Chain A
Amino acid sequence: MSEFLQIIQDNRVQIFSILGSVGLFLFIVHLIQRRKLKEEHSILWLTVFAFFIIISVFRPLLDVLAKLAGIYYAPAALLLFLILGILIILIHYSIIISKLSEQNKNLIQEVALLKEKIQPGKNEDK
């Protein structure tokens, strides 16, 4: 029993990171299930959290990736991947906002044109 506790003690970081990333992954799935989040907008979140689940389960993978990127301190690589993931998600949202504002503009214009159409000649010289 004390041996088991010792294993937990030694691998606290890994346990926390697995719990954290699995928890966040399930939270996103839960939001999609309850239709609070559209599937198309959640793929990136799921991808980012899946990536973090993978590197927290296979800890040496982080060292390999850090070495590949020429980063000596592996936790710095972790932060880099996290920031990259967030940046990509932010850009994705900027694109969505631009698209929404274009659609919103078209709708506002359409409302104005249709309002004039259903009251034909009301404001016009006859």
Chain B
Amino acid sequence: MQRLCVIVPAYNEEANIEGVITSLKQVNPAWKVVVVNDGSSDKTAEVAATTGHAVVLSLPCNLGIGGGVQTGFKYANRNDFDIAIQFDGDGQHIASEIPKLIAPILEGTADVVIGSRFLSKSKEGFQSSLARRFGIHLLGAISHCLVHQRITDSTSGFRAYNRRAIALLSQIYPVDYPEPEAIILLGKNGFRMVEIPVVMQERQGGHSSISGFKSCHYMIKVIVAMFIGSLRPPLPPKAF
């Protein structure tokens, strides 16, 4: 029996977090739900704790999504989980898609599985705005050039990782907007990444972390980080 934990990064998500935890437990009560409360100023931690179905890791300061998710990887690594799922706390990911996401890891055909909005022909669910889709495709093209693995949804935060990937990412993980950078890190170190078509919902409440001027800054920062990341030599195999 594979032990699975679901890492739910949450920053000021008191409106959504309870629904997210309940939906995860409904699909499989055996999954360990780990909510990483990233220094929220609202009642995210209390709401998550009172459900009684989640381990709550409360960061004393706000670290940003990457630092939060990495706390989850450290938890998964220290507590010997076989699979870690990264699952957003804002309600945009759908819990019943997790079995599909972990299938390639269980079969041993992939180390990392990414849920992609853009793989299914029908284009159902939330597809994001035109500008964002352009940005995502650009990042996808860059990561394809740099690590030769085709990723259509490089900013997707709906991912599954096996033990080796957990061990690596608990040591090294980008802090600010980590998803596209993590693809370079994993690709450079020879991890097999696979994408699975998933449906995402528009967020239920609260605010997105990226908008307006920030998105321009984000694109520049991420692209620079991806190129420099691809210049780094692979880590020695004993590192993970």
Q: Which residues of A contact B (CB under 8 A)?
A: 105, 108-109, 111-113, 115-116, 122-125
Contact = CB atoms under 8 A, between A and B. Distances in A.
A contacts with B: majority SS: helix
A6 B67 CA distance: 66
Contact of A113 (B52, B63, B74, B175): B74
Interface in B31-83: 36, 48-49, 52-61, 63, 67, 70-71, 74-75, 78
A115 to B, nearest CB: 6
A125 B166 CA distance: 24
8 contacts: A105-B175, A108-B60, A109-B74, A112-B36, A113-B57, A116-B55, A123-B54, A124-B55
Nearest to A110: B74
A65 B75 CA distance: 58
A111 B55 CA distance: 15
Contacts of B70: 109
A108 B63 CA distance: 8
B182 to A, nearest CB: 16
A118 to B, nearest CB: 13
Nearest to A114: B57
B7 to A, nearest CB: 12
B60 A111 contact: yes
Contacts of A116: 55-58, 75
B67 A108 contact: yes
A110 to B, nearest CB: 8
Given A108-B59, A116-B56, A123-B49, 8 more contacts: A109-B70, A109-B71, A112-B60, A113-B57, A113-B75, A116-B75, A123-B54, A125-B53
Nearest to B46: A123
B157 to A, nearest CB: 18
Given A105-B63, A105-B175, A112 B52 contact: no
B35 to A, nearest CB: 9
A98 B36 CA distance: 24
